[in-house]
Structure 1
């Protein structure tokens, strides 16, 4: 009779150890994913510039500014064979109507900056969601540099094709 209880205890112990290991791995995996994702979002949204802080506030409270569409961008990517390109349609949320007018005035330097930025990217850079978020942040920074301050709240991709 003692022999019958011994295997049951070992069996229960094995299940308890297995459940404990699974919980430990699941919790560790969740924590790593959560902190890694939070770190990636902090890099793309809270890089220290006031424009990014304004952008984060705009995302929380809804859109605060005027949305201005930019012309379509068709640019060759930094591909060794030169066969890849991107077609990108962008709309910019300006802080107010005056900034919308500035976007029209500085359209040539803004297009130039975005074209140079896009042509420096490879397909691998833009293939992931994180890569696209980084691109949005870089476009926002470049436009704000041209306009001389945190006047652009955020950038929206309305169409993106990479071939």
Structure 2
């Protein structure tokens, strides 16, 4: 009897072992099919693999720029200085003395006798807001500087006057043209001092 029970128990154990072995093999083959079989074959479910990819540097910089916008600094330019309009009589007067110069005539008998006063714009436009003492000091320095340029100014005036003809200066229109020529002639050659008006206190053409 005992031998019969032992045989039954041994058979049962073998059956159990075969059962679990079959299940294990079935699961193994099942997973192998899921993982190895092509995705177009019928499966109860499909595996999805996520592979992390590196973000390109340019894209990372772009995202960073979007996340933290940086306000570009714009260089500021100083506002332009306002121009001061100086009217006749508001500048600094400089007497050049009387000039007697032969005109550019073939006969050489005609001449011009003229006394010219040049009116300059101050080299420092703050002159108009200075106090009396400061203004006096500025005028002293300005006239001293102009005095050192006076030989050059006289030479320029004589050169320009001697190039004129009787017909070009004897009329009122000719006188105004000469006034403009003097301003341009001196300002071109002495740009550090700006002549703004010219006055003729004596004007004779013969």
Question: TM-score category by the smaller chain?
Answer: 0.5 to 0.7
Q: Which residue of 2 aligns with 1:127?
A: 170
Contact 1:92 1:156 in 2 (8 A): yes
Q: Which residue of 1 aligns with 2:185?
A: 142
Higher relative contact order, structure no. (Cα contacts within 8 Å, ≥ 6 residues apart): 1
Q: Which residue of 2 aligns with 1:77?
A: 103
The DSSP-based 3-state class of the residue aligned with 2:184 is helix
Cα 1:131–1:99, aligned 2, differ >3 Å: closer, same or farther? farther
Structure 1 residues 41-98: Cα deviation after superposition (integer angstroms, max 9, x where no partner): xxxxxxxxxxxxx8xx54xx44221211112111000111110011110111121235
Greater Rg over alpha carbons, structure: 2
Cα 1:62–1:116, aligned 2, differ >3 Å: closer, same or farther? closer
Distance 1:63 1:85 in 2: 29
Distance 2:178 2:148 in 1: 23
Runs of 4+ in 1 over 3 A off after TM superposition: 97-102
Q: Report the CA distance between 1:105 and its aligned residue.
A: 1.4
Contact 1:94 1:151 in 2 (8 A): yes
Cα 1:112–1:160, aligned 2, differ >3 Å: closer, same or farther? same
Q: Which has the higher helix share?
A: 1
TM-score in terms of structure 1 length: 0.59
Unaligned runs of 5+ in 1: 1-53
Cα 1:147–1:100, aligned 2, differ >3 Å: closer, same or farther? farther
The DSSP-based 3-state class of the residue aligned with 1:70 is strand
Q: Report the CA distance between 1:132 and its aligned residue.
A: 0.8
TM-score in terms of structure 2 length: 0.47
Distance 2:113 2:154 in 1: 13
Q: Report the CA distance between 1:138 and its aligned residue.
A: 1.0
The DSSP-based 3-state class of the residue aligned with 2:97 is coil
Q: Which residue of 1 aligns with 2:146?
A: 103
Matched, 1:67 2:110: no
Contact 1:74 1:87 in 2 (8 A): yes
Unaligned runs of 5+ in 2: 1-83, 123-138
Q: Report the CA distance between 1:150 and its aligned residue.
A: 5.8
